[in-house]
Amino acid sequence: MKFIKGYVAWVVLLGVGLGVGLGVGGGACDRGSAGTNTGDGGTDPDSGCIPEVTFAAPLTFANPKALLITTETLRYAFVPLVTFHTQTGTSTRLVTVAEICASATCDDTDPSNDTAKAIKDYIAAQTGLRYVVLGGDLPNVPSRRTHDLYVNQLAGTYEEDFYTDYYYSDLSEWDTNGDGVYGDAIGDSPDYRPEVSISRIPVSSGLEARRYVEKVVAYCARYEPSHVQTVLLLANIAVNVMNTDFSSARYFEEAGRTIDVLPADFSITKLYAQSDNPDPTALDITRANQVQQIEAGVNLIVHNGHGYPDLLTAEQIYSPEHTFSGEHAYALVNTTYPIFFSGACQAGQFEAPFIWHTGDGDFNFPDDSAGEQLINAPEGGAIAYIGNTTTGLGLAGGSQFIDEALRDISRPGELLLADAFLTAHAELPEHDTFVLPLVGEYDVVDSESYRWTQKAVVLLGDGLIPVWNRSRQAAPTITATSQSVCGGVVLEVQVSASDVHTVYVGAGELVYELDLTDGSGTIALPSPDTPITIAAPSSDTFYLHHELP
């Protein structure tokens, strides 16, 4: 028999290896002033263009809310994403690792002055910054290697080195003893409180980045309305105690836990392991059923169970029928991209490749983990994956983390995933109890599992996407015509809904505000040598978006 190690920490103590974080916040963007510039487009009567045009001035943001950090190689693939987020309510600026290192040491042979330290110092120096998106997997954008130790009377002792992006979220000092080991359980004393929400788009090429940006636009602007109020619950057997299976679904079903914190008007589909099924209406958590449900279209997925770097979901004792791998995730064909919360161990790795060292030898996994393959699936997959980069502690913090994220999503109002993720970090309880089989009520969350969970959870994907938590209508349509003028172009824009009073025009990294009268307006842009897009947020519909041919 093959044992799945992705849930090891609670194979004895009800291993519901779960780690997640959700967050959402949106609303109107902190728009700068549009201003006006009068530009003489030229007066040559033989030029064939209209002279004397007043060009609009782009919006400016002294202190943007969001930052996207990427490489020079991936920069241009991510420019449309940065522009789109500014157009739809979250002022965002792009900066490269090279630009950050131009004014910092970035000596990767010195852990006290390496690139990760420079990035964290740069983040900390930004006024008003709330969100950071890391554009690329390792080694494109570095993370922080950390060491941790977790000891539990029932679960045993776990000591691991792993990467954590939470280093950029908690701006306190992580190497307090100056030994070059960050966030060590012995000798270091960060406060582990979140200040900035961090997400990572785990792409390694311009093609992957462009495909993912297209997913984001489709998710925000062309979402299927009938899929908004849907959630899929996945549960494996957590542990077998004295030949008795105990399902992680029992956490979902307990009063006050996952099911009770989901939006009350959401329709819930359950796929549970059948050997211990607390709800007889739940179907079996086979791979076929998981694929069918995802490809049919679902908004939120919550997984309580096992995994591995190359397995998205699995049973503790290997079963081919119940194994959903990264390759299977990469082959998904779906147009509604879900947000996938999971407590599975290690499926949120973003190392390439990952080598698992064991007493039986080393296992070398594919360049992309299961979570990465889910995000990078070319014909479907998920828009975001919240899981663990290392062993998930399940009831010792991961399950509670997901519940706090879902609780935030369930509140009324416009939400960004990054805000729910930040809230889950902030509200993660430092102590919790749960009734365990043959044990009774037991302290499952303590200070060590709290620290471990904060560092282990990662958000793969763009945290700046909204979380659709209530019914919406399709977005109004936008039409636009263009006419060349000397030194630029004039756009005439029409929106099918007359109550839309403002849209935002993007040209490269520049964004312009366009006020509409009865759904129409005109704007002149200087030297538009880049693709032009028109977009806007909406509180009643999905986001507006149109790209000129």
* 8 Å CB contact between 389 and 162: yes
Residue 38 has pLDDT above 60, yes or no: no
Note the pLDDT of residue 95: 98
Backbone angles phi, psi at 525, to 5 degrees: -115, 140
Q: Calculate what percentage of the chain has a pLDDT beyond 90.
A: 79
* CA 152 – CA 110 distance, rounded (Å): 34
pTM, entire model: 0.91
Task: Say if residue 6's pLDDT is above 80.
Answer: no
- Whether 26 shows a pLDDT value over 80: the answer reads no
Q: What's the pLDDT at 259?
A: 98
Q: CA nearest 140: which of 226, 208, 42?
A: 208
Mean pLDDT of the chain: 89
- pLDDT reported for residue 365: 54
- Please check the confidence at residue 239 and state whether its pLDDT lies above 50: yes
Rounded distance between C-alpha atoms, residue 403 and residue 389, angstroms? 19
- Rounded-to-integer distance, Cα 92 and Cα 137, Å: 20
Q: Tens of pLDDT along 201-213?
A: 999 999 999 999 9
Position 12 scores a pLDDT of 36
What does the longest C-alpha to C-alpha distance in the chain come to?
91
pLDDT value at residue 33: 39
* Domain residue ranges of the chain, discontinuous segments joined by +: 38-62+473-549
pLDDT of 460 > 90? The answer is yes
At residue 240, the pLDDT reads 84
Residue with tokens 């701006």: 171
Q: Would you identify the CATH topology of the domain 38-62+473-549?
A: Immunoglobulin-like (2.60.40)
Residue 79 has pLDDT above 80, yes or no: yes
Strands (E), 192-288: 197-201, 230-235, 237-241, 244-247, 267-272, 283-284
pLDDT at residue 16 tops 50: no
35 vs 407, higher pLDDT = 407
439: left (phi over 0), alpha (psi -120 to 50) or beta: alpha
